[in-house]
A and B are shown apart, each in its own frame.
Chain A
Amino acid sequence: MKQITVLTRKDTSELSRVASLLGDAGVNIEDLAAENLEETGIIVLTVDQYDLALQALRDAGLRAITQDALVIRIEDKPGALASIAKRLRDAGIDMRSMHILRREGSNSLASIVATDHEMAARVLADVIVTAS
């Protein structure tokens, strides 16, 4: 099982749209959780056919983030991402990339790729988007 985070519009119909397009593609959703951040809907999925699911989501024009990246929620203020990078560095974790996914109101969503994904997830547990 692999996890995918999908960013959508904040709209209740988006959840059923994602479920339906994955179903049409022959993908089974094993687990699903959703939450909203300002105007963004965040859906975290666990699926049985990872590549097929990514393909279907991309074809539908949705922003899908693979499980290689951690999705975090941070305050939209100068140096916010850098502070996260510092936390990883202080924990001895090598960060490869940090990209802003969406900025809305006082919050930002960002993706992080670190060489030690598991440890990075533990260090950043308080800011990781789990949509649970």
Chain B
Amino acid sequence: MPLSDSDRARLDALHDRLCTAKPVSIGYPCNQEFDYSELFRFLQFSINNVGDPFSGSNYRLNTHDFEREVVQDFVRFTQAPPDDYWGYVTNGGTEGNMYGLYVARELFPQGMVYFSEDTHYSVAKILRVQHTRNIMIKSQPNGQLDYEDLHETLRIHRDVPPIIFANIGTTMKGSIDDLAKIRDILEDLAIGESYIHADAALSGMILPFVDKPQPWNFANGADSLSISGHKLLGCPLPCGVVLARKRNVDRIARNVEYVGALDTTISGSRNAMTPLMLWYRLRSLGDEGLRALVQRCLHLARYAVEQLQAKGIDAWRHDENSITVVIPRPPEALMKKWIIAPRKKIAHLITLPPMTEAVIDAFAHEFATMIGTQP
């Protein structure tokens, strides 16, 4: 039965609203330039990736083979040990963080989680859900973990296995916690048992494609890592990838006979479309396309800082690998036009497509005019 005219009008109105919002959405980390029309034919199937993508499932309408290839690409990007990794496509960065903290808690039930002030609020929720003990560590003004506070805190609790939640790109400032420094602190205090989970939601797709990445991945001591799929890559459905060391995952494996799968994932039913979309995106861009995309975003971030500063606006980036441009909180009137996420006294631009130099120029001009710094 066809939709009524009023229902169809509602869909048209939604479409118009989204078309209007897309070009002015400059403060959220979502690449909005993509074309997945080649995959539309798969929407006629009730596909479901229930179970472990590496173990198979009785429910054969799945995309597990594509999911495994996506995971293998991320193994390469994150320098995960080729003979000791496991992972799957999640429904976003938060599920990946939950998985990493779940593995850590299962390994160290008495462990204490340490995370910085600048950590995304969802982590506090995860810790509450998982009933894991936790202490917040101070942040430096640039958003990085305060290593001195971490050192002192670990020194006092050195008999409790530490589970470090490291930010590889904080939400507001794009700051990256240095995994090498964290490992040095653990060694300095002679802490034998520890776990590091890295939340690399946005930067996990940037750092593999820059010349001088910070120490951020498995090669630098991460035990698990979560990366968003819909952020830098761009995908209309939220998704991500989580990777962990297989020897740790094996210890928490549970056999779920109902679906005939050895299921170590968190969900039962899992999205089968997003692995296909990520696979399609990774294959169509290729490593060179990804590098070009990252370089384009970095160029725009540099340009945004220059243009905003030239107009008397105190804009800055955490470092040369960041596409998060931190700005003072804009006037409310400006945020009515542009879609920006403020927090306390700051806000940010994320220079992902469809951002262009022209968009940055327009925003900088309006911002400077409103606060009276327009030269």
Q: For chain A, residues 90 to 119, give those with C-beta under 8 angstroms from any C-beta of chain B.
A: 94-100, 103, 108, 110
**In the complex, A86 Cα to B159 Cα: how many Å?**
12
Q: For chain A, residues 41 to 85, give those with C-beta under 8 angstroms from any C-beta of chain B.
A: 76, 78-83, 85
Given the known inter-chain contacts A78-B148, A81-B136, A82-B135, please indicate yes or no for A97 contacting B127, CB distance below 8 A: yes
Contacts of A98 in B (CB 8 A): 134-136
CB distance B155 to A79 under 8 Å? yes
CB distance B133 to A96 under 8 Å? yes
A117 to B: closest C-beta gap in Å? 15
Contact with A along B41-85 (1 / 0, CB 8 A): 000000000000000000000000000000000000000000000
Contacts of B178 in A (CB 8 A): none
Given the known inter-chain contacts A79-B149, A79-B153, please indicate yes or no for A103 contacting B138, CB distance below 8 A: yes
CB distance B148 to A97 under 8 Å? no
B104 to A: closest C-beta gap in Å? 16
The number of residues on chain A lying at the interface, defined by a beta carbon within 8 Å of a beta carbon of chain B, is 19
The number of residues on chain B lying at the interface, defined by a beta carbon within 8 Å of a beta carbon of chain A, is 21
Which residue on chain A has the smallest CB distance to residue B127?
A97
Contact with A along B105-144 (1 / 0, CB 8 A): 0000000000001000000100110010111111000000
Our pick among B134, B153, B156 for the contact of A97 (Cβ within 8 Å) is: B134
CB distance A81 to B155 under 8 Å? no
A77 to B: closest C-beta gap in Å? 8
**In the complex, A86 Cα to B136 Cα: how many Å?**
14
**In the complex, A64 Cα to B301 Cα: how many Å?**
36
B168 to A: closest C-beta gap in Å? 21
**In the complex, A103 Cα to B344 Cα: how many Å?**
13
Contact with A along B140-178 (1 / 0, CB 8 A): 000000101101111111000000000000000000000
**In the complex, A106 Cα to B135 Cα: how many Å?**
20
Most chain B CB inside 10 Å of its own CB: which residue of A78, A85, A103 = A78
CB distance A85 to B156 under 8 Å? yes
Given the known inter-chain contacts A78-B148, A78-B149, A86-B157, please indicate yes or no for A95 contacting B133, CB distance below 8 A: yes
Given the known inter-chain contacts A78-B138, A81-B136, A95-B133, please indicate yes or no for A100 contacting B157, CB distance below 8 A: no
CB distance B133 to A78 under 8 Å? no
CB distance B156 to A79 under 8 Å? yes
Given the known inter-chain contacts A82-B153, A82-B156, A85-B157, please indicate yes or no for A97 contacting B138, CB distance below 8 A: no
Our pick among A80, A81, A99, A103 for the contact of B124 (Cβ within 8 Å) is: A99
Which residue on chain A has the smallest CB distance to residue B157?
A82
A sample of 7 inter-chain contacts (CB < 8 A) reads A78-B153, A81-B135, A82-B154, A82-B157, A85-B135, A96-B134, A99-B136
Which residues of B are interface residues toward A (Cβ below 8 A)?
117, 124, 127-128, 131, 133-138, 146, 148-149, 151-157
